[in-house]
């Protein structure tokens, strides 16, 4: 499943609306903590080819805000802001031997992937008048991704008098890209006394990576 088209969501929404019971329309606001798998396999392969590292990126921890409007017991529309947080890959190493080769090089580096996205979409679910509801979500999102590489090198060597000298070099490079693509996911929600707790897993399509985010959210209906 590559995505959930907006046309499919719209068609399902019309069908659900025609078969739903009447309900007072309800706004809701949610704040969530998100854990994101950056889907960075291609970046990891590039770093392995360039620097020889076999380390992997860790998952990022971020947050999101969601404002939604419950059109019927089965259909909601919502807009969200998600900050994915920072996913880092760290490695260090050395080569050469100061006493045998006359030179020693120590390297350490950190690569950071970060980004954020603003989304607009729909949620199709089971009846939200019941305490528990489950559904699917999808729509379009407008994303920004950034990659940053920080590299430190230290060279230790002997001068002509036999003294040990050291020289240090540092590099800090970054690049960013943005665009808009689709997203899709699943969600489960528990509601009581105007409050709601939800857990969702969402995949966000983008140019080079498709990060997947699991979010635990607390919300209020008003």
Q: Summarize the confidence of residues 131-146 as an average pLDDT.
A: 97
The phi, psi pair for 17, rounded to 5°, reads: -65, -35
The tens digit of pLDDT for each residue in 59-68 reads 999 999 999 9
Judge whether residue 96 has pLDDT over 90: no
99 pLDDT tier (thresholds 50, 70, 90): confident
Q: What is the mean pLDDT of the chain?
A: 87
Length of the chain: 222
CA-derived radius of gyration, the chain: 24
47 pLDDT tier (thresholds 50, 70, 90): confident
SS3 (DSSP) at 161: coil
Q: What is the DSSP string of 51-120?
A: H-----PPPEEEEEEEEEEEEETTEEEEEEEEEEEEEEEEEEEEES-TTTTSEEEEEEEEEEEEEEEEEE
Domains present along the chain, CATH in parentheses: 6-16+26-221 (2.40.160.20)
- pLDDT for the residue numbered 208: 81
Cα dihedral angle (121, 126, 132, 134), rounded to 10 degrees? -50
Rounded CA separation 35/33 (Å): 7
- pLDDT for the residue numbered 25: 65
Lookup: tokens for 6: 């907006």
23 pLDDT tier (thresholds 50, 70, 90): low
35 pLDDT tier (thresholds 50, 70, 90): very high
Rounded CA separation 126/134 (Å): 6
- pLDDT for the residue numbered 16: 44
The tens digit of pLDDT for each residue in 178-206 reads 999 999 999 999 999 999 999 999 999 99
Q: Summarize the confidence of residues 163-192 as an average pLDDT.
A: 94
Strands 212-221 and 26-37, sheet pairing: antiparallel
């Amino acid at each position: 499943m590559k995505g959930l088209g907006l046309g499919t969501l719209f068609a399902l929404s019309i069908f659900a609306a025609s078969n739903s019971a009447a309900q007072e329309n309800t706004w809701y606001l949610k704040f969530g903590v998100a854990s994101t798998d950056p889907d960075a396999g291609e970046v990891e392969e590039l770093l392995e080819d360039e620097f020889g590292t076999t380390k992997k990126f860790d998952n990022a921890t971020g947050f999101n805000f969601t404002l939604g409007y419950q059109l019927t017991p089965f259909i909601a529309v919502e807009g969200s802001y998600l900050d994915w947080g920072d996913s880092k890959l760290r490695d260090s190493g050395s080569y050469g031997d100061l006493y045998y080769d006359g030179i020693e090089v120590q390297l350490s580096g950190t690569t950071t992937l970060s980004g954020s996205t603003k989304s607009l979409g729909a949620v199709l679910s089971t009846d939200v008048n019941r305490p528990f509801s489950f559904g699917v979500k999808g729509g379009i999102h407008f994303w920004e991704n950034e990659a940053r590489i920080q590299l430190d090198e230290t060279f230790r060597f002997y001068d002509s008098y036999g003294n040990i000298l050291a020289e240090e070099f540092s590099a800090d490079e970054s690049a960013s890209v943005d665009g808009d693509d689709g997203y899709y996911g699943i969600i489960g929600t528990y509601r009581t006394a105007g409050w709601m707790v939800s857990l969702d897993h969402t995949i966000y399509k983008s140019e080079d990576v498709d990060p997947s985010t699991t979010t635990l959210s607390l919300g209020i209906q008003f």
